[in-house]
Each structure stands twice: as C-alpha cells, then as structure tokens.
Chain A
Amino acid sequence: MTSSVGIVIPELIAFETALDLERGRSLPRYDLMVETYGTLDADKNNAVLVCHALSGDHHAAGYHDTESNKPGWWDHYIGPGKCIDTDLFFVVSLNNLGGCSGSTGPLSINPVTGKAYGPDFPEITILDWVHAQARLADHLGIEKFAAIVGGSLGGMQALQWSITYPDRLAAALIIAATPRLTAQNIAFNEVARQAIIRDPNFFDGNYADYDVIPASGVSLARMVGHITYLSDIAMGKKFGRSLPRDDHDANGVNFAVEQYLRYQGQQFSGHFDANTYILMTRALDYFDPTKNGLTTLPNVLKSTVCKFLILSFTTDWRFSPSRSEEIVDALIQADKQVSYTRLESAHGHDAFLIPDATYERIFKAFMNRIHLDLRGIQ
C-alpha cells in the first residue's frame, strides 16, 4: 500500500449558471477546484466522489510537485491498490463551495460588487454542497457514482447525497460521522467561532480591508478543534506530561502538548481563511436531515436506494460510535442494505485519517465488492 497516484494537477472548473442556496440567497456563478485520480471508464460508471471534512480540500491524494513531501490528506486510502483503488475507480475530489483552497468562497470576488465577498459570502449548507457536487458530476458526464465516500463532515455529505440524489450513487461510505450535531458539538464550534470573532484583527470579517488576518483567533479555533479530534488516550500516548522538545522555549510553553497545539494552530491560521472556518462550522451545526425533528431519520432514509457502509471508531468522542449507530439503526428500520463496524482505535475522531489494518481491510472489501458488482461478478 505504498504506491501513489503521483503528481496531480488540480483543475479550476467554472459554473456560469446561478446556484440557488438552501438558506435563500443565490450564487450567480462559481468555480470549483477539483482533482481527479484514475481513469473514467467508457461507460462512466466507475466514479467515486470523495467529500472532505471541515478543514480538508480537493487535494486528497498524490503530490502537487516533485519537491513536495506532503501528500494529499487521504493519500493512505486513495491510490493504486489502496482502499479506493485508482486502478479500478475514477476518483473525484473537490474543494467545497465556501472553501478557501481555490473554489468560490469568501476570498473570491463577488461579481456584483467587484470586491471579495468576505463576510458577505452567503451561508452554505451541506445540501448546497451536494447540489454543487451534482453539477460537477454533470460536467464530468457522470450520471451515477459507484460510491460517495467521506469521513466526518464528508460522511454527512455522503448521507445527504443518498437522500437528495438517491439514483445517482450505488453506494455510500459514511465514516466517523453523525446524523446531526449534539449541543456539545455545537458548543465546541461556537467556542471556535468566538475565538475568531473576538480577535481584534477580525473586523467583523472585513479583515482583508485592513490587510490583516485574525491569525490568533483562527489559531485558537484550531487548537480547540484539535482537542476534539484526538482522544485522551492518543494525547496521553503522544505527549503524556512530557516537557517540550525545545526546553529553551521562551513563550511560556510548559508541556509538549501545549507546544504541539500552538504549532498546529499557527500552521492552520497561516493558510485557512477565518470566514471559511465560520461558514464551515455553521454548515456542520445546521445539518439535520430530519429538519429539526419535523420527520424521523428512518422516514428520511426511506427514499434511499444505495448500499451503505457505516464505520465508527471506539475512542471517537466528537462523533461517537453511538452517533453512527443512529444512522445504522435508522437504515435498518427503513429496511435498507447497510453494513456497520465499530473499529477499535486509540486515535479518537482523527482515526478515519490514520492507517489501521482492520479499517483498511473492511474499507477495501466494501470498495472491491462495488467494483465486482459494477462488472456483474458474483
């Protein structure tokens, strides 16, 4: 499992038809930054859509240049012979609308005003992402995906796809996700948002006008987020109560875990847009296929026709196994084809990104079966 898709070149695809958004506004036009790996079959039925999580982007596998030693965020799982086998599948990965890695988002120019959207970028929901992804599929000539796959927020997009476009996917693989956020989940997101909003350099989201970025707020938001991605066990193993590697640190760092969080926060604030972070966490918070209890999950899932594989991780406390099991039970109630495994892992929510033999075995078994089903092999 060491082979790579190699050097990939992202492509910016323009959509000139307006997109009406769930919360009322509309985008007159938009661009999506997209990467693809593997080859689309002549009958165009071997496409797999990979949906990214909160801070992810289109760069899921391979490398952007020969110098780079940092592969895409899911490189361990996408490539020749890997779980999502690029010898079998044509993989589509995009930066979602509202993102800050090339797709239209708060950093883009609003064609109406001629200046960057900034905080005026419309609120985006997971349903909007799914509609935008469906238009991308149209553009690529993909009528139906062999599978739609995602972890965390990405899994929620896969779930939404199964509901909104039931005939356009054969399988959904939903990893470490939840059917809706809990009050505790929303509370953590709110702390992250407040950290950004209260940064003196935020200027109500208009920081670009002042040529600054609210780096300290974004960094703090990332630190809070990062704690929820790891488990107590994983943190204990990685840092324990050990002192920082560089014990000459003059910035008041007392423990290695502090140094780590600060580093993560700084790295993140250097490349992630504050308005996008707020937009993405709002999209997470508002996600609820039951429309705030107006209907039930089994009811919503009645219209789905794809096969499902749901995976959770034992030490994930951000979206714990019981959240995944809500989706599983709803699918059982709705009489759908669903498989589920609660994987042993010490890595908390982040486990969906980390190499693990059992996880890979199950992931690959499901994907390979999709490939065989496409070819009508028993």
Chain B
Amino acid sequence: MILHSHRIPDWIARNTRVLDLGCGNGDLLAQLVKSHQIDALGLELDPKKIATCLDQGLSVIQQDLNSDLSNFNDQQFDTVIMTQTLQAVRRPDLVLSEMLRVGREAIVTFPNFAYIRNRMQLGLSGHMPVNPQLPNPWYDTPNIHLSTFHDFEELCRTISIKILGRDTSNLSGKQTWFGKVWPNLFGEVAVYRLTKES
C-alpha cells in the first residue's frame, strides 16, 4: 500500500468540502475528517472498499472514474484529490479538467516513471520496470498512462492548469533530500497541487 504524501493535509483547509476520486478504503478521507473536519465524499468502484468506507462513517459513491463527473456541479468542492490513480484512467487530461471543473483546487499524486530505479530497470536491463510501486507486468497492468514530472508539467501548460505546489515523496509518504533537489530523477511519487489558470 502506497501511503499518501505528508504534504496533502497542508494543502487542505479546515471545514472545506473534499472529493476523493478512487478513495479506496477511505483512510485519507477519514484522516482528514478527524484532523481538518472536512465534509468528505469518496468515489470508489470496489464494493468491498466501499463497505470499509461506510465502516468509517464516510459517504462514498460507486462510480467509474473513466466516466465524466457530470453528476457533480461546477465548483461543488474546495478540493478534489486523486492519489496514485491518474496513470490508470483512460484520459488523464480529461480527468484533470473535470477535477478542476467540480473543484476549486486539485491534488494529484502518481508514480514518477523517470524515477531512477525505473530508469535503471529500463535502461540497463532493457525491461519494463517491475518494482514495489509498479508491481504489474506490462501486459497486465492498470497503469496505462505512465508519465514523469516533466511530462505532467507539460500537460498542465497545455490545458491551462496552474501548479500551486509540487512535492515528491517515497513510498512511505516521506520526502527525501535528493527527491527535493532533483524530483524527476529521485522523486518516486509525484505530488501536485493544482488550480485552473485564471
């Protein structure tokens, strides 16, 4: 299980409305409800995870993230979060645009494909990387749109998304010194805080 970046709570204001796309067991939302008294809603596909969310008293809707968010109003949420899922949706660009239609701000995390371990595996052994963060073989993986810090920032420029904050973390949610200085090479997980370019 990949933990969430320690920066996410810093980017959430108290008593705000937060939507988590692909909220899993609801751990992040439950934590934010306790620490920030947020008004939380999760979207999740797996009924077993939905049940765990309900155990924690969270509201959660079964909904496929590949469909649009047309059932939500414009700017209905203060923050829309999506952790470690962007690389698994069919159209990351459209999902990002929808996130910033229904939310004032977005927080996105994804595996950095340019992380040194991935580069070594691909560059030296000549194989697609398989490691704790990307555990699946290429022919059977949900991660169909892998990208890097550079790629992501290029997309943001193209679709008029403003980057309010950037962070890196390793798999245990902590930032390393190398990751901070050279994120595209040493950042294992990319963490972004975004808003729509005004």
Contacts and interface: CB of A to CB of B under 8 A. Distances in A.
Interface of A: 307, 309, 325, 328-329, 332-333, 335, 337-344, 358, 361-362, 365-366, 368-369, 372-373, 378
A109 to B, nearest CB: 47
Nearest to B72: A332
A84 to B, nearest CB: 15
Contacts of B66: none
Given A340-B62, A342-B62, A358-B51, 17 more contacts: A332-B76, A335-B76, A337-B59, A338-B59, A339-B50, A341-B62, A361-B47, A361-B48, A361-B51, A362-B50, A362-B51, A365-B52, A365-B55, A369-B54, A369-B55, A369-B57, A378-B57
Nearest to B61: A340
B71 interface: yes
B158 interface: no
Contact of B55 (A325, A333, A343, A368): A368
Contacts of B76: 332, 335
Contacts, number: 57
B190 interface: no
Interface string B41-83: 0000001101111111111111100000001110010000000
29 contacts: A307-B59, A309-B54, A325-B71, A328-B71, A329-B71, A333-B71, A333-B73, A338-B59, A338-B61, A339-B58, A339-B60, A339-B61, A340-B62, A340-B63, A341-B47, A341-B50, A341-B62, A342-B62, A358-B48, A361-B48, A361-B51, A362-B47, A362-B51, A365-B51, A365-B52, A369-B56, A373-B57, A378-B34, A378-B57
Contacts of A361: 47-48, 51
B171 to A, nearest CB: 29
A372 B59 CA distance: 15
Contacts of A342: 62
B57 A339 contact: no
A366 B51 CA distance: 8
